[in-house]
Amino acid sequence: MSFSTMLSTMAAGMLRTCAIFFLTLLGSLPLGLGIMLLRRSKNRLVSSLTRVFIAVIRGTPLMLQLLVWYFGPYYLFGASIKGWRFPAILVAFIVNYAAYFAEIYRGGVESIGVGQYEAAEVLGYSRSQTFLKIILPQVIKRILPSITNEFITLVKDTSMAFTLAYQEVFSLAKQISASQTSFMPFVIAGVFYFIANYAVAFAMERCEKALSYYN
Amino acid sequence: MILEMKNIRKSFGSLQVLRDISLCVDSGEAVSIIGPSGSGKSTLLRCATFLERVDGGEIRYLGRAACTGEGEYASTNELRELRRAFGLVFQSFNRFPHYSVLKNITEAPMLVQKRDKEEVLETAMGLLRKMGLESKRNAYPCQLSGGQQQRVAIARALCMKPDILFFDEPTSALDPELTGEVLKVIKQLAEENMTMVIVTHEMPFARAVSDRVIFMDGGVIVEQGEPEQVFGQPTQERTKQFLRNYER
Ligand SMILES: Nc1ncnc2c1ncn2[C@@H]1O[C@H](COP(=O)(O)OP(=O)(O)O)[C@@H](O)[C@H]1O
Ligand SMILES: [Mg+2]
């Protein structure tokens, strides 16, 4: 297999890796917000249950969660898992990352002084207006560095989809390397992850710059 | 009567902070509240602005009840309406750091009061001119001095066109050389007969701008009257003692 065939075969895997990455963010960034709101709920039961949920998600390996989400429906309900591979991967990643994002959001929200809420309240902002207009924008600025870290971890974590034999870059690299007895696929995969993370870091730095007009 | 507070009681746990306080403010009146720290001045303003709920007593704005009896509050909608009657300027400014000066001032009137954008902008620019901040309208709060930030906060409150404006130690967080510019603005408002309640430790200022001075201590009003009387011939021993600390 020539280098260019190798590259083009792996390109499909790169696309799948990117799909996991972007779809995970698309799902987990908003879901994390919802989980954070539940975690901060005044209802004791709701906030405790959410805390346990977050503890479980953060306290068990993502690889295990992938297996549970994929095989769970079969073992628990005897359901057919045909065509469930990619959705299961997304669910596992989204739920996992949402738990982390929820805690990052919570740290950000709790770092905003009570004065901001009180000023908004006296001016007549409703609770949702206060959150969306006053609190959230300031939270985003504060948590951006932690979010960047999660993004970079996610780029690398996508390789765990390999557990479910999903043909993303890492799985393909391993397969091609074995069949061609070549080390090159691993080099290609490594360069791909590095470039992807470089792009992520670059984009996030631009975001931080864009928000640096105030402190 | 713009504000009527009657027999207000407020405790934090076992600590009784307001004991049966009554405060009425007439239209056009400037009232100063002085007193040692911990005497409940902030708590009184926070109760007046619904940031704290009272345990008992009555609060009325323009005759409409916000709270009656044993701390029974009006509906959320009614309270939202009543909030239009007042503004509050905090000791620590609490300006919105992610908004420009202009947006700090104009967002609430447009978003909350649903007022016309052109009219709000015009009002805001008028206020900025009055505060001497016209050239800073596109600046962000972090680019301003403390005195300028507090003037933005005052403009933000005024742009809501409140019937009464509360100030909680508006200059206490400022460097001494910056207090003057903020006091000047408040003085100007008093001359325009803005209805105000000002908690302050600036005694000469309180004496100069207020129609009435209230001395609070231990959660009660110890003495009140015209500034010349309270500052010149205080009748209560506690008032005399307190004022003695401010001589020199
Ligand atoms: N949220 C609160 N919880 C408990 N105690 C409070 C709270 N707010 C104020 N206090 C107490 O109430 C008393 C009066 O406080 P405050 O109204 O801030 O006084 P002042 O503004 O006159 O200095 C103080 O002893 C203060 O510690
Ligand atoms: Mg105070």
Q: Which residues of B touch A122 (CB under 8 A)?
A: 49, 51, 83, 86-88
At A42, phi and psi to the nearest 5?
-75, -20
- What CATH number did the domain enclosing A174 receive? 1.10.3720.10
Number of domains in chain A: 1
Which of A122, A138, A212 best probes binding to B when mutated, by most B CB atoms within 10 angstroms? A122
Judging by DSSP bridges, how do beta strands B3-12 and B86-89 pair with one another? unpaired
Q: Do B140 and A213 touch (CB under 8 A)?
A: yes
Which domain, by its residues, includes A140? 3-211
Tens-digit pLDDT profile for residues B140-154:
999 999 999 999 999
Judged by its nearest atom, the ligand closest to the C-alpha of residue B216 is 1
For residue B3, the CA-to-ligand 2 centroid distance in Å is 20
Whole-prediction pTM value?
Answer: 0.91
Query: What's the burial of A115, exposed, middle or buried (CB within 10 Å: 0-12/13-18/19+)?
Result: middle
**Helical H segments across B27-170, by residue range:** 41-48, 76-83, 101-111, 117-130, 146-158
Determine the atom of ligand 1 nearest the C-alpha atom of B216. 22
Using an 8 Å Cβ cutoff, are B221 and B18 in contact? Answer: no
For residue B139, the CA-to-ligand 2 centroid distance in Å is 29
Beta bridge partners of B215: B34, B223
Q: Do A124 and B112 touch (CB under 8 A)?
A: yes
- Asked if pLDDT for residue B247 goes beyond 80, the answer is no
Cβ-nearest to B88 among A122, A125, A214: A122
Cβ-nearest to A123 among B51, B98, B112: B112
Separation between Cα atoms, residue B85 and residue B2, nearest integer Å: 8
For residue B240, the CA-to-ligand 1 centroid distance in Å is 23
B207: closest CA of chain A, how far (Å): 28
Tens-digit pLDDT profile for residues B41-64:
999 999 999 999 999 999 999 999
Helix (H, G, I), strand (E, B) or coil at A2: coil
Give the ipTM of the model, two decimals please: 0.94
- Asked if pLDDT for residue B69 goes beyond 90, the answer is no
Tens-digit pLDDT profile for residues B113-127:
999 999 999 999 999
pLDDT below 70 — which residues of chain A? none
Closest CA relative to residue B23, chosen from B47, B50, B53: B47
B42: closest CA of chain A, how far (Å): 13
- Does residue B39's CB lie within 6 angstroms of at least one atom of ligand 1? yes
Position B218 confidence tier, pLDDT thresholds 50, 70, 90 = very high
